[in-house]
Structure 1
Amino acid sequence: MSTLVKEKKSRPINLDLQTIQFPITAIASILHRVSGVIMFVAVGILLWLLAISLSSPAGFTQAANLVDGFFVKFILWGILTALSYHIAGGIRHLLMDMNYFEELESGTLSAKFVMGIAVVLSVLAGVLVW
């Protein structure tokens, strides 16, 4: 009976998430999920804008006027940024599924590379939108 009873280990428990420092690989993975959620919401926004623009010539003018505003341009830039990060992170995850970048050093390097590519693509998206 004594072999069935497990001893309770006294491990430190940290429930304050603000004091936890996540590794860059965890941040890259979390951002990949967040960008996926942003893209899911973006589909609704973009379909709504497409529906307005295809409804009539006046609707197209209304959609064009909406896209000329700063707020909508900012949203479009955010959508393009999320899309570019999600694609770059998705390629990284696909490569990891093929047994590349699975070690700590190469995983960290690939996460930094994806974030760098995302910054460059975000700047290019800003140039495209504005």
Structure 2
Amino acid sequence: MNTKTRPQYTNLNVFTDLTSYRLPPAGFVSILHRISGLLLFILLPLLVWFFDKSLTSEISYEEFTNAFVAGIGAVPGWFIKLVCLGLIWGYLHHFCAGLRHLWMDATHSVSKEQGRSSALLVLGLSLLLTAALGAKLFGLY
């Protein structure tokens, strides 16, 4: 038999192996789930500040909404919108991937194909929802 031998990776070297290693969609979703959780954790003080500004009073709400137009200090408004878009993606991806993980844990009936298709669904759904909310954020509708 002339079967092609597949390389086996036991220890990945960042400089030599990552260019040839193909990560499955479930691996991307898992890594992005961790990254989005870290993003939400690191930017939690900003989220709390946004929440506080939007609910304290009518004047603070006006300051909050003006930050998206005029910016805050030297930071322009488009950059604040971009950071919020990143937070929106982080939350939506983390939520969708978390539901996927809960579903996989609850059913215990996940095959390789189910894992691949659910990972692609999470990626597509989180990006679609992010695009919809991002369009609202940037005033497209």
Give the aligned partner of residue 115 of structure 2.
107
User: Whole-Å Cα distance in 1 between the matches of residues 10 and 48 of structure 2?
Assistant: 49
| Percent identity between the two aligned chains | 29
Matches within 5 A, 1:7-86: 14-15=12-13, 16-19=16-19, 20-52=21-53, 59-68=60-69, 69-86=77-94
Change (3 A) 1:67 1:29: same
The 2-side partners of 1:72 and 1:61 are apart by: 15
CA distance in 2 between partners of 1:23 and 1:31 (Å): 13
TM-score (normalizing by structure 1): 0.78
Flag the structure with larger Rg.
Answer: 1
Please tell me whether the aligned partners of residues 104 and 110 of structure 2 are also in contact (alpha carbons under 8 angstroms).
yes
Name the structure with the higher helix share. 1
5+ residue gaps, structure 2: 1-8, 70-76
Is residue 100–residue 118 contact of structure 2 (8 Å, CA) maintained in 1? yes
CA contact (8 A) 1:32 1:85 kept: yes
Count of aligned positions: 120
Q: Deviations over 1:10-33 (max 9, x none)?
A: x87542352322111111111011
Question: What RMSD in Å do the two structures reach over aligned CA positions?
Answer: 2.3
Alignment TM-score, normalising by the size of structure 2: 0.72
- Describe the SS at the equivalent of 1:18: coil
Distance 1:110 1:53, change over 3 A: closer
Indicate if the aligned counterparts of 2:89 and 2:126 stay in contact, CA closer than 8 A.
Answer: yes
